[in-house]
Chains A and B, each alone.
Chain A
Amino acid sequence: MTFFMNSEIMIGAKLLEVIYIIIGLITIYTGVKNGRDEENPSRMGTAIFWCSLGIVIAFGRWIPPMFNGVLIITMTIPSIMQKVKIGKQNPPTQEESKAAFDKIGMKIFIPALAIGICAIIFAVFTTMGALVGVGAGILVSTILLMMFSSNNTPQVFLKDSERLLSSVGPLSMLPMLLASLGAVFAAAGVGQVIASIVGNIIPQGNVNVGIIVYALGMMLFTMIMGNAFAAITVMTVGIGAPFVLAYGADPVVIGMLALTSGYCGTLCTPMAANFNIVPVAMLDMKDRMGVIKNQVIPALILITFQITYMIMFK
């Protein structure tokens, strides 16, 4: 409680902490519901995963880092052993959503867009930050949905969020885990080692060459790994920071465009199976590379555009 009572801490930080507690509770609910669900083939593993994730998200601030670390390792175990499963679900039927559309109509776009609009408003006009804005948007959206239809009870929202979270499964912790891996790399001094190797190949101090290597490296690494999120942690520590940012280039332009340069790689690789191979099966296409072939030319145009953009606005 001292955290919330402390008048020196900004209201934005306090509200953000409230948001984390809500997120954590939704996650813990997912764990408890599946733990009690007799249709779930792996109740124990599923419950351990979601409950420990929920505890770290909701209460991590007050738990010693060491113990958080132990909880994180704990949640990876059922996930690696494939023991996090989906239980009984109640997805909306076509009739149900059609009937709701007939009743609500195009107004449904208002709660859908409210989240993004609130995020922008909070980011631009307040000091509380975009994420508190997302939270406010969710509140607005929930209230509107409840006004639109009396079927939308709190139970419905909670069960629907559990359904989506369960379908994403353990991969929902991936972004946080990747960011932590980046921190481990940084703490172990991995960046300096790569920098000293690459420094022998590309001339130190030429920022433009650095940008080209960084952007093409992002594209290439993403093609190999099939995942731009994994590529950016490695590439930024090894090349982006020592060869581009260290010479005063704008981290906003360079860092962000590096990620979307990576997306150009995602468009060109069968390793990104979710986007490029699964649709082939879903649409029953004859050519296994049919999606990728239609993406190569736009990807090449976009990487060229982005490198030029980075060089001009660094």
Chain B
Amino acid sequence: MELIKLLGILIVIIGFALKKDSILIILCAAIVTALVGGLGITGLLNTLGTSFVANRAMAIFILIMFVTGTLERNGLKDAAASLIEKIKGASPGKVIGAYGIMRGIFGAFNVSFGGVAGFVRPIIMPMAAGSIEAKGEKVNEDHLDEIKGMASGMENIAWFFCQVLFVGGAGGLLVQSTLASLGYHVELIDLVKVEIPVAIVAVSVAIVYYYLKDKKLCKKYYSKDRKEEETA
């Protein structure tokens, strides 16, 4: 009958998979687990209270928000846009790659420029499309769709794997607290160090992959790129 203790885990998996309210799922799972695991309501409230207070470090992002909004108000995004516009002789692949590097470096400092809605759509996409038009070609629609997909992919990969380099980021804090509840004590800075190679490989893999893919697509869709290939 030990199996009944897994009911909470089942609730989490099914709940998230069915896209139910996250907070409701977690609360249900906690209540059910506490009841079947013999903690009772008092035990649940005590464990919940103790652990929540022990994990207040995860609320550090609220303190960071104290300046994030005001940075945006003072032209952070405009500065990022003028930084990336400096790359010359661009192709869509190069624009996406340059964005990946910038996103990754700033991501490691927990600085964000607005993601797909705030930066990719208004700044990266016009730059990528412009780089094709600068060569006197009309942008192919299927190619544009692929560029959108690659730019979003670059956004996600650079952000996921570089934000873990911020000392005090949510990911590291959650790993630290998960390990602590199992009796292992780890430091945030050490968690960051082990992620450095992963972040570098992640951004590099994405840049190379999207660059090669875009090069192939350019050859497929535009006559000038084909001709260059023939003469080369």
Where the two chains meet, the residues of A that have a C-beta atom closer than 8 Å to any C-beta of B are: 16, 19-20, 22-23, 26-27, 56-57, 60-61, 63-73, 76, 79-80, 92, 96-106, 108-109, 111-113, 115-117, 119-120, 123-124, 129-131, 133-135, 138, 141-142, 145, 148-149, 152, 156-158, 160-161, 163-165, 170-191, 193-194, 196-197, 221, 224-227, 229-230, 232-234, 236-238, 241, 245, 251-253, 255-260, 263, 266-267, 271, 275-276, 278-280, 282-287, 290-291, 293-295, 297-298, 301-302, 305-306, 309, 313
Contact = CB atoms under 8 A, between A and B. Distances in A.
Interface of B: 2-3, 5-6, 8-9, 12-13, 16-17, 19, 21-24, 26-27, 29-30, 33-34, 36-39, 42-53, 55-79, 82-83, 106, 108-111, 116-117, 120-121, 125, 145-146, 148-153, 155-157, 160-161, 164, 166-168, 170-175, 177-179, 181-182, 184, 186-191, 194-195, 197-198, 201-202, 205-206, 209-210, 213
Nearest to A141: B67
B48 A180 contact: yes
Nearest to B111: A112
B26 A178 contact: yes
Contacts of B45: 65-66, 69-70, 73
Given A134-B63, A177-B23, A237-B178, 15 more contacts: A72-B48, A98-B75, A108-B76, A115-B110, A133-B168, A161-B68, A180-B55, A184-B48, A193-B5, A230-B12, A252-B190, A253-B194, A256-B195, A283-B125, A313-B194
A157 B76 CA distance: 15
Contacts of B12: 181, 225, 230, 234
A175 B174 contact: yes
A23 B182 contact: no
A294 to B, nearest CB: 4
SS class, residues of chain A in contact with chain B: helix
A106 B37 contact: no
Contacts of A119: 166-168
A302 B149 CA distance: 19
